[in-house]
A and B are shown apart, each in its own frame.
Chain A
Amino acid sequence: MDSTAFVMGCSAIGAGLAIIASIGSAIGQGMAASKAVESIARQPESRGTVMTTLFISCAIIETTAIYGLIIALILLMANPFVGQLP
């Protein structure tokens, strides 16, 4: 088998696996949103503060998924392994 094709195929599988990192961030965002809805239901007047905090914390939680996305993008676009083939 052509070794370049093998390396590129394995990199594509690795890129797919790297996106699995977004599972954790999705669960975390769901928990944050459910707590925010609970606290708004308990204190409707604090809606503005809670929403701002929710947006900021969601963007911070998202960082984990973004790291996975960046690893996938590096594997797909700037593959570091293909250049090392003999």
Chain B
Amino acid sequence: MDLANKNLALLFEISGIPVYLTQSLLSTWIVMAVLTLGAIFARIKMRSFSPVPSGFQNFIEFAVEAADNMVKSAMGDGFGALGGYFFSILAFILASNYTALLGLRPPTSDISTTLSLALLSMGIMHFLGISRRGMRYFKEYFEPVWAFFPMHLMEDLTKPISLSFRLFGNILGGVIIFELIYELFPFPLRFVIPSFLHAYFDLFVGALQAYIFTTLSITFMSQKASAN
């Protein structure tokens, strides 16, 4: 049994350090291609925009409004541009988690994917805090007394770690459990029993973790950017 993220091909070298095409990188590219083609398809379909929505346009409007409402209910007005960001994050993580259903290795079972997503969210959080609140943002690090400064710093350090490890651990745990399950059962049973487990570990946990990641990012941002 081999649980490692296998190297498929050598891509290029940066000053002697080889960069490999791994299984998770390949499925990242597949997810990116699917999402990009879906976005282009939606854009072309929306050319024939009708004031009374129906069918596909109804679905797109529902999705966009749901993302906008999620941001608005947590952060208030004035953050409309963030709806698109969170919609993309949610779509990417959801599509990544569901690649496990196709037998691919999910991109989110790679710590580099989840850590970069978490660091992106944290970067936007600090940027919003500084641009919206100015010096009051830095003042908050010394409240209620200056001795709390190391604690606030530690909080900022642990936020991306907990965000990324939560997603990574859940998805990698699912991958390992399925490797063990498929080893355990003889050939004909492999088509029956694991499908019930796929429903829980891939469909339910995948959707839940995508939602959790997005909701927690919104909560962190609203704490930093729109606190009074």
A55, A59, A77: which contacts B3 (Cβ < 8 A)? Answer: A77
Contact B165 A59, beta carbon cutoff 8 Å:
no
> How many interface residues does A have (CB within 8 Å)?
12
Contact A63 B3, beta carbon cutoff 8 Å:
no
Contact A55 B166, beta carbon cutoff 8 Å:
no
Contact A56 B212, beta carbon cutoff 8 Å:
yes
Verify if A70 is at the interface (C-beta below 8 Å from B).
Answer: yes
- Given A70-B165, A77-B4, answer yes or no on A59-B172 (Cβ-Cβ < 8 Å): no
Which residues in B have their C-beta under 8 angstroms from that of A70? Answer: 165, 168-169
Verify if A50 is at the interface (C-beta below 8 Å from B).
Answer: no
Contact A59 B169, beta carbon cutoff 8 Å:
no
> How many interface residues does B have (CB within 8 Å)?
17
Which residues in B have their C-beta under 8 angstroms from that of A73? Answer: 172, 176
Verify if B222 is at the interface (C-beta below 8 Å from A).
Answer: no
Interface hits, A47-76 → B, CB 8 Å = 55-56, 59-60, 62-63, 66-67, 69-70, 73
C-alpha spacing A60/B208, complex, angstroms: 12
B165, B176, B208, B215: which contacts A66 (Cβ < 8 A)? Answer: B165
C-alpha spacing A63/B166, complex, angstroms: 6
Q: B115 → chain A, closest Cβ, in Å?
A: 12
Contact B212 A59, beta carbon cutoff 8 Å:
yes
Interface hits, A9-46 → B, CB 8 Å = none
Which residues in A have their C-beta under 8 angstroms from that of B176? Answer: 73
Which residues in A have their C-beta under 8 angstroms from that of B113? Answer: none
Contact B173 A69, beta carbon cutoff 8 Å:
yes
Q: Which of B162, B165, B169, B216: most chain A Cβ within 10 A? A: B169
Contact B166 A66, beta carbon cutoff 8 Å:
yes
Contact A56 B215, beta carbon cutoff 8 Å:
yes
B binding-site residues for A, Cβ under 8 Å = 3-4, 162, 165-166, 168-170, 172-173, 176, 208-209, 211-212, 215-216
A binding-site residues for B, Cβ under 8 Å = 55-56, 59-60, 62-63, 66-67, 69-70, 73, 77
* 20 residue pairs A–B, Cβ–Cβ below 8 Å: A55-B208, A55-B211, A55-B212, A56-B215, A56-B216, A59-B166, A59-B208, A59-B209, A60-B212, A60-B216, A62-B170, A63-B162, A63-B166, A66-B165, A66-B166, A66-B169, A67-B165, A73-B172, A73-B176, A77-B4
